[in-house]
Amino acid sequence: MHELAIAESIIGILKEQTSSALGGSGGGKINSVKLKIGEMAGIVPSALEFSFQIASKGTLAEGAALYIENVPLTGKCDDCSEVFRIKDYCFECVSCGGSNFKLIAGRELLIDEIDVG
């Protein structure tokens, strides 16, 4: 269950990013965290939520609400510059049918917003 390792690394990042906002010695807490997770990031959102609850115990993120936004898998065609959603793992351009394209979204795991209070 690699979601636990991911949850722990998220909490590590949260600690770094909020240490100045919280003045170091822990005067506040994290209320909520918003994540963007690509549909091909290999993460099960419900497993990540569960792992986050476990990993956040005793940290400044304990009890924080976790909001997860799913990012669709998106490609950009090298031949015709079409930007398109990749559905059902059909890896060809919807406009010209070519298979030369780059994945521009859908594999990320980003911390989008941290609400500290």
Q: Does 96 bind Zn ion (CB under 5 A)?
A: yes
- At position 86, the amino acid (one-letter code) is I
Q: Does 83 bind Zn ion (CB under 5 A)?
A: no
Q: Does 78 bind Zn ion (CB under 5 A)?
A: no
Among 6, 35, 48, 93, binds Zn ion (CB under 5 A): 93
Q: What is the DSSP string of 8-60?
A: HHHHHHHHHHHTTTTTTTT-S-EEEEEEEEETTS---HHHHHHHHHHHTTTST
Instruction: Considering the complex, state which of residue 63 and residue 91 has its C-beta at the smaller distance from Zn ion.
Output: 91
Q: Does 77 bind Zn ion (CB under 5 A)?
A: yes
Instruction: Considering the complex, state which of residue 43 and residue 86 has its C-beta at the smaller distance from Zn ion.
Output: 86
d(CA 60, CA 56): 7
Residues that bind Zn ion (CB under 5 A): 77, 79-80, 82, 93, 95-96, 98
